[in-house]
Structure 1
Amino acid sequence: MTQQPFTRPGAIDLSGLKRPAAGGGAPSGEAPGGGAAGGGASYWLDVTQENFQATVEASLTAPVLLVFSSASRMPESAQMARDLATVAEEYEGRFLAGLVDVDAQPAIAQAVQLQSVPFVFAVLDGRPQPLMQDLATLDQLRSAINSVMQQLTQQGITGRHQPRHAAPAEGDEDGEAGFDPRYAPAQDALERGDYDGAVAEYEKLIAANPADAEAAAGLAMARVLQRTAGADEAQARAAAEAAPDDVAAQTMVADLDLLTGQVDAAFGRLVELVRRSAGDERNQAREHLLGLFAAVGNKDPRVLKGRQALASALF
């Protein structure tokens, strides 16, 4: 599996594509192989000539991953596309998965000068970066995408897509999802590296609506960035190794593990700290771990596994 670091090269050339008359192509949100996506909303869509430009422009809000597949050339690539849609659901809007069937959409393949399938482009601000060009299993996709998401988070890129719907809303023929402006101040602060400001903005949102799950997740990640700003990783790891029961030292390394994509290691470190501690220290470790769960996303399978491990450590 070939994966490359995320950078920002030139924009996709759309000049070779003309939007056909309305009615061509499958609607966004229709499950691969037929059927509606769960609940009528999802974070992936089938890309056609009709919605290709809108899909690329959606990368102005948050990353878009375009996966190109061909059942006729390589049947396994079609399964990889479906797996990417699964991972997109798990990330709950951190990226939008665009599934391009090159058998049905040869003009799109030509526009991006596609040479082989499968192929995955990461698109941000309309600019594509070749990301993967080999077959990958579901677990390999999760690992690769987690690495990309962590890189983007470290760069302050933390936007989220709104879910796509099986049928476009009235007055929105392309089915393009809008950005909720309530989150703009917090995301602007993150992009400036103002983590204190981002925390404050997310706290305002939660004070106004305690049930705002997106704000809660944003706050959790902003706090991780706030705690680790300026940290010396080598010193932090040395301190944690020297004091295995020191909550502050262990939670700092868990934060750093999370930001470098070592999610399981971050969770495991704190689960073991909970297991061998007691009283206030145990509660501090547990609360910190819950915050990391929120930052990753409660539907992520690693979080589900981590919660099971935490329950075992507590009881």
Structure 2
Amino acid sequence: MTGPGRQTPAASFAGAVDLSALKERAARRSAPQPSAPAASRSASDSPAAASSGVPVIVDVTEATFEAEVVERSHQVLVVVDLWAPWCEPCKQLSPALEKLAREGNGSWILAKVDVEENPRIAQVFGVESIPTVVAIAGGQPVHAFSGAQSEDQIRNWLAELKKAIGDKLPGLPAEGEAAPAEPPADPRFEAAEEALNEGDFDKAEAEYQKILVEEPRNAEAKSGLNHARFLARVRSIDPEAPRKAEADPSDIEAQLAAADLEIISQQPGKAFQRLIDVVRATAGDDRAVARERLLSLLEMFDPADPTVLAARRDLAAALF
């Protein structure tokens, strides 16, 4: 992680970060951590509470990330403030975020993460400098910025986010109102996901294949199957693949491996374009292999993501 305060433009993270790794880590802990902010805060420092009775400012750890950020983001926009005690720009940015969260009165939640105490969260987001602020909606990062911002800039950023999200999130339940009941978990997917969490990718692939035998068009199963195959591949991936791909554009295996590494490093657009270029430059079996690999990677992401839509258009142009 580089020094604090590097200013970068807002960047879309949609579909590029797997937040489930934090859930797995939290589940392995022997005792649950409290989801409320640290008790050492004085009453005057305690987080504001929304009209729903749910705090609008929460301190988050690796153990509470799943409940406080991922799950809550299915109801309301969650803004994650990644900061550290020694970071001077953080001391300017955090108070502005907290003020706006209180003003928002539950229309969005501010989740504060001390990256010194919770480095895994920063690693998951690929944070290179702090402060970094990431917006989460529907369980996925949707936008982010790094460096100190003025209160007006943050206010405008939030307004654009809310406009983009619209009414896609139901909002927090009012005080005393029960949250909507979630549908019962599908045991078929539970078996596949358990295998994934245990690192048994062959078993996970087999479980997803069973679902697809029964439901060939099940998009969730297709995505899970491709995730399992991807994770199995990258266990033994050649770290020299990008260099080999650059040195010899005709080395198809190196191109495929380089694309996988770009997915790992959260550069899906670059990976998609690499494989589209291979499709455009090849024919026969090589073209078919590159096309199938690209389609399998695309199915791992939200089909409505602009990067995915653009890649599908470019692939069609490359083929025809």
Regarding TM over 0.5, the answer is yes
Q: Contact conserved, 1:217 with 1:297, CA < 8 A, in 2?
A: no
Q: Give the match for residue 215 of structure 1.
A: 221
Aligned partner of residue 300 in structure 2, secondary structure: helix
| Selected match of 2:287 from 282, 294, 297 | 282
* Contact kept in structure 1, 2:201 and 2:229, CA below 8 Å: yes
Residue aligned with 1:295, SS: coil
Structure 1 gap segments, 5+ residues each: 26-46, 79-99, 110-117, 123-127, 146-162
Q: Among residues 213, 224, 232, which one is paired with 2:230 in the alignment? A: 224
Partner of 2:198: 192
Q: Return the letter of the residue paired with 2:210.
A: K
Counterpart Cα distance in 2 of 1:61 and 1:287: 38
Give the CA RMSD over aligned residues: 5.0
TM-score normalised according to structure 2 size: 0.55
Distance 1:178 1:103, change over 3 A: farther
By how many angstroms is 1:211 displaced? 2.2
**Aligned twin of 2:265:** 260
Matched, 1:63 2:70: yes
Q: Residue 211 of structure 1: SS of its match in structure 2?
A: coil
Change (3 A) 1:191 1:266: same
Counterpart AA for 1:270: L
Please give the secondary structure, in 2, of the residue aligned with 1:189. helix
Identity of aligned residues (%): 29
What secondary structure sits across from 1:289 in the alignment? helix
Give me the whole-angstrom Cα distance separating, in 1, the residues matched to 2:172 and 2:133: 31
> Unaligned 5+ residue runs, structure 2?
9-16, 27-32, 40-45, 82-92, 115-119, 146-167
2:250 matched to which residue of 1? 245
Q: Tell me which residue corresponds to 1:35.
A: none
TM-score for both structures, normalised by structure 1: 0.55
- Quick check: 1:202 aligned with 2:221? no
- CA distance in structure 2 between the partners assigned to 1:60 and 1:178 by the alignment: 18
Query: For the residues of structure 2 that align with 1:219 and 1:287, how far apart are their CA atoms?
Result: 14
Q: How many residues end up aligned between the 2 structures?
A: 230
Q: Which residue of 1 aligns with 2:103?
A: 103
| Superposed displacement of residue 68, structure 1 | 7.3
Map 1:1-315 onto structure 2 (within 5 A): 11-13=34-36, 25=52, 48-49=54-55, 59=66, 63-64=70-71, 66-67=78-79, 101-103=101-103, 105=105, 133=131, 142=142, 173-175=178-180, 177-178=182-183, 180-182=185-187, 183-234=189-240, 236-315=241-320
The Cα shift of 1:11 comes to 4.4
Match of 1:43 in 2: none
Alpha-carbon contact 1:58-1:176 (below 8 Å) kept: no
Q: 1:144 to 1:103 in 2, by over 3 A?
A: closer
Change (3 A) 1:61 1:290: farther
Residue 221 of structure 1 deviates from its aligned partner by: 1.5
Write the distance in 2 (CA, Å) between the matches of 1:48 and 1:264: 37
Closer, same or farther: CA 306–143 of 1 in aligned 2, 3 Å = farther
